[in-house]
Structure 1
Amino acid sequence: MPLFVKGMPASVEGSKKALIMLEGGPGVSSVSLEWIMDKLHRELSGEFHIFTVDHRGTGRSGRLDCPAAQALSSGSRYGNDIALEEIPHCLKDIHHQFGTNAAAAYSITNAAKDLTMLIETEMADYDVYLYGMSYGTMVVERLMHFSPPQVKGYILDSICADHYEPEGTGNNQMFSNWDDDAKDVSQHFLDLCQKDTAVCGKLLGENATATLFKLYDRLDANASACSAIFYDTLEIKPSIKLRQFFFKLLGRYDRRKFIPTFAARLERCNAQDKDVMTSILTKNDPARPSEGLHSNLLQDTIVYSEVWQVPTPSMEDIVQQFFASPMALNDPEKVGCYCLFTGSNSSECVPWVDMNVPPWTYTPDKYFNKTAAIPIGVSVLGLTGNLDPLTPSKHARRHFKNMKGDNKKLVEFPVAVHGIIGNTPLSDNHTDPHCGLLVVADFLRASGALDAINLTCMDKVQPLNFDIPDALALELFDLDGGAMDGKIHTPAQDAKDYKSNYTYSHEGGRDRPQLDSRRPRAQCAPETS
């Protein structure tokens, strides 16, 4: 199987320092890390060779696909996602390609072994550092079991804990109970929101969570003119669509501030509000070219093998979790997907037992559910954001507690979202390095010496606020005249005179929730592009 590696060589002659960067997913290619790779190279003054790697089964490292079924083609009905109805043909295609027992080739452990081999053969005389983001942290954590002597330090950004605790403890970071964690983070966000009495408190009141639930109930009851946006135009229950929509905004540091404003406009719902929210809620973001390199088939292979509860929760369990959270994402049809991928005959899988679909999962190996100890002479830096709805901080803390060894430091950013290295801005100037990137660079310059890291930039990270400049409203949502009272801007109007000062730098009638758009990028198991 090919392993795709892309590198920026050090500009310092004779350098024997290397950084390997891993993306998440599972199944997301390394393309989305290249802008960070470039910024780090500059920040480190060319002292390091910096590499990105497509983990096996994604991107240019033998992307796992079912081409005969065309389930992953961008032109298919569900784009790069695999819908429940597409799984039978996709899995039959996979078995035709690889046979019946090949899924284990795409395990987390084998991805980690690829990296170990790369380091021990191509970088045998280098000091190597590994950076993993989101699911990339799981690959790095698995690699720690093999402890290649060249590795001097590990950086875990937006951490997926690799140890699971008994059900009911709230400490199982699984795709199957995603929305339990979404509930904690979204409520924390709304608590901070209501304390901002100047803006958010005025819009959502003293109990922002209760206000949001009341809005959902009113729209669901068809008691608002804006209910028609959902029932007539989108053909989806309002409280489903809005939970998903607000969840996606919550995970993006420049868009989350729009949540109270959009909720307030739906509550007010004058004619212009209805037009604006219809436009925003019906807009589909175009697929990025790099999404064609991702493999959601690889994601499902790993998720249903290693990061899904066994026995599976019921569809009703997932629906209940979804509606208990003010913002949520999970899809109960994932239970059916799990059943088809695993061939499980559990009670929750009865509707799919007789479909005669060949399973495509693997049995977890001896490294599963075991946190590696920190190797002697090696340090571990962890980065987590307290407003990250994909990989919440509570699991980062738990992982660091389980990881034996003292040479470790977990740095928590109070208002950061997913992907600390690129979501901790110090200014509105998008060319400035983010605090997370500066912390990583300090760790590398200090050869992994944790006490030498300068954390003063944390005090300068832009705070959570709900003031929305008119230019930002126009840039992100085409709102001309401000977020609260603006109308949808006609793109051709004044286009030659408009120049934005804002950019986004970091790239997630039915009675039960179903996903209506692509998965969020770079996720693992929250509690998983």
Structure 2
Amino acid sequence: MLTVLVKRIVQSSSERKAVWVLTGGADASSTQLESSLEELYLALKGTVSIYTMDQRGTGKSSPLECEAIDKQVVGAAVDFNAVADCAYSLLSKMDRQPRSYSTSSAAKDVVYLSTSLQTENQEIYVYGSGMGSHLATRVMHLAPKNFKGYVLDGVISEMTKTVAHITSDREAAASQLAALCDNDSTCRSKYGDDLFNVRTMYDAWRTLPTELDVARNACVDLLCGKCKDVKPSDMLRVLLDVGIPMSSKSTLGEIPAVMQRLRRCNEDDANKLRDRLQIPEDKSYYDVWTESRAEREIAFGDARTPSTQMLTQLIKHSELWSNPSPSWDQEQQAIKKSTFGVDQALDYAWHCVLSGNSSDPSCSALEDYGHQLSPSIDFWMISNMKPLLYTEDQYDHNDATIPEGASALIMSGKLDVGDPLSGFDDQHLYMKGDKKRLVLFEGNSHGSGFMSAKPEDHSDCGAMIIASYILAGGDVSHVDESCLSEVPKLEFKTVPLCHPGVCASSKKINVHVKRIVEGNAERKAVWVLTGGADASFPKLESSLEELYLALNDKASIITMDQRGTGKSSPLECEAIDKQASGAAVDFNAVADCAYKLLGKMDGQPHSFSITSAANDVVYVSTPLVSDSQDIFVYGSGMGSFLAARVMHLSPKSFKGYALDRVIGESTGNFAHTSSNREEAATRLAKMGDNDSACRSMYGDDLPDDQTMFDTWRALSAQLDDADNACVDLLCGDCESVAPSDMLRCYWMLAFPLAGHQHAEKSQP
């Protein structure tokens, strides 16, 4: 017997429906799913119970433990001597039955647990993402009673899928991305005369590796310096896997520009690439990547986080690998001929060791992988390899039939790198049964985006479509796909550097916008603005989701990287950009930056003013929000200043303005920060005066006719005249600084009035 951990969110009605959410493989522990489960529960309006589990072999479900690798993060070096030992010991723990941890065993767990946890008249649905779609399809093969619907998201094809050829999957997604750029006039125009009308964008990208390998220019130097140990084309593939990964929706839109800069490679292109990749002047991307990889090789994760490595590799190489295995030498050749391919030496090395056969065609990867490590390790002499892989069962590579009375919803993203569109097409083609519906997301980098591991890839539309399918009782004709028209497409948009009436220039700049789309027809939208030092939105993610939930998904939420920050044509100054807050500022460098930035601004510094940013909000709202939609603006801190400026513009359809932590338009003045702090301190002291417990701490030192702030205001002079232990604590012998100076520093650094700590009763 073994243990399987199950988690459940219980429905709040008597609808008698339940949905299993399955990820499988590397994502098979339920811990990381909790926020997505809550989102689906809300989309289902609490009428459906939601179940998930730690798949057997992961988390708290009788995990396949291998101490040598369990605490490593993904990307850390794998000691295959230890893996061989683990395989041998795990075989005994499995009672020499490795199939007991197969996908079929996990599918039978779902059916077994459903019988134990749910009543017989309850409708059950199964959602699977990525390797979880493979598991969900296996449940379909079992055709259990009461299972009414199957949602396959980011589909792994039963008939044709092999993870032995990731390169071909990535190239397919890249061609889809290139087609989007071909059909976007702004993106296509960036290539100018370099791209003839008869040539596709993907044609240009496909020839880039060869062009780089024979070129001698600043971009080649940037990629690999003297390129003694690696080719420029090798580093291009690393760049598209790690530096500007096409597996992430947040960087997909950058790839066309990066490819064109590498093709054209003038001085500005090389400088922009260096800045974007944060490569020091004296180093190449190869240097930075090598250093980063060396650090990652020895990295360890949180010991409390359950590992899924062994189960993932066992399933991948038993069920999702070509049989017989392809030759690593041949796969290397395919990778080197590609533009977007990735090195798979680690994958092939895993297959070799788990196969237990040192003569397997995959095994030359063991030597290559060992040489990649720093220092290198010779794995060729592993002598204790034992076969851990299991053979196919009756379900492997056989297309499923949708059971009688059930249906299937198949979802995919056109730009999905891991589970490409071909799997979506194959599953539709080979799956038997008529009750199926296909949903395709144009710009998603993984399925519907609902169960993505990356926050920036998350799509609420995926959850809404899944919910409509379940609430309709699995009737595919009633699936509501209307939110697809509202999902922000992967666009290559620009805005004017100078809006009318602000300044004069014909240049364009980029503004990066993010949106959470409303879940109903309320037709409302809220702009969330911070402005200034907080004007880039990654730190806002959790707050945006909180507001969206507070609005019961009745309003779209929109935010942006304000022009000059984040991914919106940033005002970059290398001398200070990498400094931490509070670090010394070299004003000689600042003066140089100011001169250079003036040129980048086309001599129009007003183009980065608050008024310009306010015009961006109005300009961007036009394509994102319909004329019938009410728009509201929330601004906090400097964002309140920006929100008030939008109010000055009086745009149509803007119905409300929420100003939080307000900067007064007529009185706000950063030149007198001290007086602002004194005003806040006065209010804090008054709170202390009105709190008997706080006031009593001062005892007889504070007469009834004296306020707490009177005492504080006199403290500076008293300390400067005193000679006691507190003065020693503040500044020692105080030869170069007065005690009152250090008192002000203390309050600014240890207990900043701008922070949340001022509410603590201990402060007065």
C-alpha displacement of 1:130: 0.7
Unaligned stretches of 5+ residues in structure 1: 164-171, 502-529
TM-aligned CA deviation for residue 10 of structure 1: 1.4
Deviations 1:158-192 (A, max 9, x none): 111112xxxxxxxx321111211221221221122
Relative to total residues, which structure has the larger helix share, 1 or 2?
2
Distance 1:409 1:98 in 2: 41
Structure 1 residues 119-172: Cα deviation after superposition (integer angstroms, max 9, x where no partner): 111113322111000110111111112222121111111111112xxxxxxxx3
What CA distance in whole angstroms lies between the structure 2 residues aligned with 1:359 and 1:332? 19
1:92 deviates by 0.8
| More displaced 10-residue stretch of structure 1: 27-36 or 224-233 | 224-233
Superposed, 1:329-408 pairs within 5 Å as 329-344=342-357, 346=359, 348=361, 355-408=383-436
Match of 1:66 in 2: 66
**Match for residue 467 of structure 2?**
441
Aligned residue runs from structure 1 range 95-494, under 5 A: 95-99=88-92, 101-125=96-120, 126-163=122-159, 172-203=160-191, 205-206=194-195, 207-213=200-206, 215-221=208-214, 223-232=216-225, 236-247=230-241, 249-266=245-262, 267-270=265-268, 272-273=271-272, 275-279=274-278, 282=288, 292-344=305-357, 346=359, 348=361, 355-422=383-450, 434-467=460-493, 468-469=510-511, 480=565, 487=572, 489-490=577-578, 492-493=580-581
- With over 3 angstroms needed to count, the CA separation of the structure-2 counterparts of 1:112 and 1:350, relative to structure 1, is closer
Q: 2:116 & 2:231 partners in 1: Cα distance?
A: 55
> CA offsets, 1:357-388, max 9 Å, x none?
12221122222111221111111111112221
Q: 2: distance between equivalents of 1:53 and 1:239? A: 43
Native 8 Å contact 2:461 2:484 kept in 1:
yes
| Shift of residue 258, structure 1, vs aligned partner | 1.1
SS of the residue 1:397 aligns to: helix
Greater shift, 457-466 or 191-200, is seen at 191-200
8 Å CA contact retained: 1:19, 1:130? yes
Amino acid at match of 2:164: S
Per-residue CA deviations over 1:468-510 (Å, capped at 9, x if unaligned) read 42578955799847566753644745999788x9xxxxxxxxx
| Deviation per residue, 1:395-428 (Å, 9 max, x gap) | 222112222211111222233321304389xxxx
Q: Supply the RMSD in Å over aligned alpha carbons.
A: 3.7
TM superposition shift of 1:441: 0.8
Closer, same or farther in 2 for the Cα pair 1:118/1:320, shift >3 Å?
Answer: same
Q: Name the SS for the 1:356 alignment partner.
A: coil
Alignment of 1:80 with 2:46, yes or no, is no
CA contact (8 A) 1:423 1:434 kept: no
- Decide whether the 8 Å contact of 1:195 with 1:201 is kept in 2: no
Do the aligned residues in 2 keep the contact of 1:213 with 1:326 (CA within 8 Å)? Answer: yes
Deviates most, 282-291 or 267-276: 282-291
Q: Give me the whole-angstrom Cα distance separating, in 2, the residues matched to 1:30 and 1:497.
A: 38
TM-score by length of 1: 0.80
Flag the 1:242–1:433 CA change in 2: closer, same or farther, 3 A: closer
Displacement after TM superposition at 1:116 (Å): 1.1
Which residue identity lines up with residue 109 of structure 2 in the other structure? D
For 2:429 and 2:536, the matched residues in 1 are separated by 44
Higher relative contact order (CA 8 A, sep 6+): 1
Which range is displaced more, 441-450 or 28-37? 28-37
Give the Cα–Cα distance (whole angstroms) in 2 for the partners of residues 17 and 49 of structure 1: 6
TM-score, structure 2 as length reference: 0.57
- CA gap of 1:25–1:237, structure 2 versus 1, over 3 A, is farther
What is the CA–CA distance in structure 1 between the aligned matches of 2:141 and 2:276, rounded to whole Å? 50
Letter in 2 for 1:180: S
Contact preservation (8 Å) 1:153, 1:379: yes
Shift of 1:336: 3.1
Write the distance in 1 (CA, Å) between the matches of 2:568 and 2:335.
28
Identity over aligned residues, as a percent?
25
Q: Which amino acid aligns with 1:307?
A: L
Aligned partner of residue 263 in structure 1, secondary structure: helix
Once the two structures are overlaid, the 10-residue window that deviates more, 461-470 or 115-124, is 461-470
| CA distance in 1 between partners of 2:440 and 2:512 (Å) | 31
Contact 2:129–2:451, Cα closer than 8 Å, also in 1: no
SS at match of 2:186: coil
Distance 1:331 1:201 in 2: 35
Letter in 1 for 2:183: K
The 1:416/1:49 distance shift into structure 2, 3 A limit, reads same
CA distance 1:393–1:108, change in 2 (3 Å): same
Distance 1:287 1:268 in 2: 41
Moved more, 229-238 or 356-365: 229-238
Q: Structure 1's 386 and 416: CA in aligned 2 closer, same or farther, altered over 3 A?
A: same
Whether the aligned pair in 1 keeps the contact of 2:88 and 2:385 (CA below 8 Å) is no
Mapped partners of 1:256, 1:220: distance in 2? 24
